[in-house]
Structure 1
Amino acid sequence: MNTSVDLHQLVECVGDAIVVADANEKIVLWNPAATRIFGYSEAEALGKTLDLIVPERQRQKHKEGYSKSMETGTTRYGTSLLKVPAKHQDGSTLSIAFTVGMLFDGSQKANGVVAIIRDETQRFAEERALKKQISDLENPDS
């Protein structure tokens, strides 16, 4: 059995978004799942900063964390699953869950990040509705 993996094919076929940004937050890789989730084509996303998908109210905190990660070569999130809002091309807010990994050049200096992103908007809305139903059942007079 041939186990060599065509990395391009892998990036293209996975159901989760794979987004790679360089040290300056410029998007350098954007797979078809990213297009499906965020609405931007690869051509529209490449070369843009991550502000493309980071909501306005989160941008300052995001920039500070990103800069610190590039300086230190570490991320405080490690392998944690992060759950944050994101912005779709049409302006709507998404609920996403993602993991992030640091990327390094040949001299081990941080030169970017890769994020594996899943759209959790529908699941989050369903969970919120269930919590409301439970609350309504537990507190019928409110």
Structure 2
Amino acid sequence: MDREQIARKLFEGMPDALVVADREGIIRVWNGGAERIFGFAEGEALGHSLDIITPERLRERHWIGYEATMRTGQTKYGAGDLLSVPAIRKDGAQISIQFSIVPLRGEDGDLQAVAAIMRDVTEDFEERKRLRRALRS
């Protein structure tokens, strides 16, 4: 297999969500893992804002950070750090996700888009909450 075949198979088969959003936060890439986790088919997500997976109460904070990252080209989450946040599914259910990002720069070095690799950690998050409550009792 050559590099392109490996990349295609990885993109198609990875269980984690791979979502790429452009400078304006419009979804340009949405893989099968994103479909499985968030419930939106690729055609329902492509061309739409990241608002479709961002809880309404967190959107203002999300966009302030996103716009600052795009404007400055700097992010504190670009070195493989995991970010844990709530997200929403198509059916309105709130889930917990962890993700890391990969800044995507053009040939001129300017930040053009952000790729996020996301995993649903709702079950683990809920278990930790139950354990903390049990320890406090």
Q: TM over 0.5: same fold?
A: yes
What corresponds to 2:25 in structure 1? Answer: 25
Measured in 1, the distance between the counterparts of 2:74 and 2:11 equals 24
Q: Which runs of 5+ in 1 are unaligned?
A: 137-142
Which residue identity does 1:12 align to in structure 2? E
Partner deviation per Cα, 1:18-51 (whole Å, 9 max, x = no partner): 0000111010100001001000000000000100
Please report how far the alpha carbon of residue 3 of structure 1 lies from its aligned counterpart in structure 2 after TM superposition. 6.0
Which residue identity does 2:59 align to in structure 1? R
Measured in 2, the distance between the counterparts of 1:77 and 1:41 equals 27
SS in 2 for 1:54: coil
Please, what TM-score do these two structures have when normalized by structure 2? 0.93
2:121 maps to 1:120 = yes
Runs of 4+ in 1 over 6 A off after TM superposition: none
Measured in 2, the distance between the counterparts of 1:64 and 1:92 equals 24
**Greater Cα shift, 112-121 or 122-131:** 122-131
Measured in 1, the distance between the counterparts of 2:16 and 2:60 equals 26
Measured in 2, the distance between the counterparts of 1:4 and 1:33 equals 21
In our comparison, the structure showing a higher alpha carbon Rg is 1
Measured in 1, the distance between the counterparts of 2:115 and 2:75 equals 12
Q: Would the alpha carbon gap of residues 103 and 4 (structure 1) be closer, same or farther in structure 2, given more than 3 Å must change? A: closer
Structure 1 segment 96-107 matched on structure 2, within 5 A: 96-107=97-108
Please report how far the alpha carbon of residue 134 of structure 1 lies from its aligned counterpart in structure 2 after TM superposition. 2.1
Q: Which runs of 5+ in 2 are unaligned?
A: none
SS in 1 for 2:75: coil
Measured in 2, the distance between the counterparts of 1:3 and 1:46 equals 27
Measured in 1, the distance between the counterparts of 2:83 and 2:59 equals 16
What corresponds to 1:140 in structure 2? Answer: none
Measured in 2, the distance between the counterparts of 1:24 and 1:5 equals 28
SS in 2 for 1:90: coil
Which residue identity does 1:4 align to in structure 2? R
Measured in 2, the distance between the counterparts of 1:134 and 1:103 equals 43
What corresponds to 2:49 in structure 1? Answer: 49
Which residue identity does 1:86 align to in structure 2? A
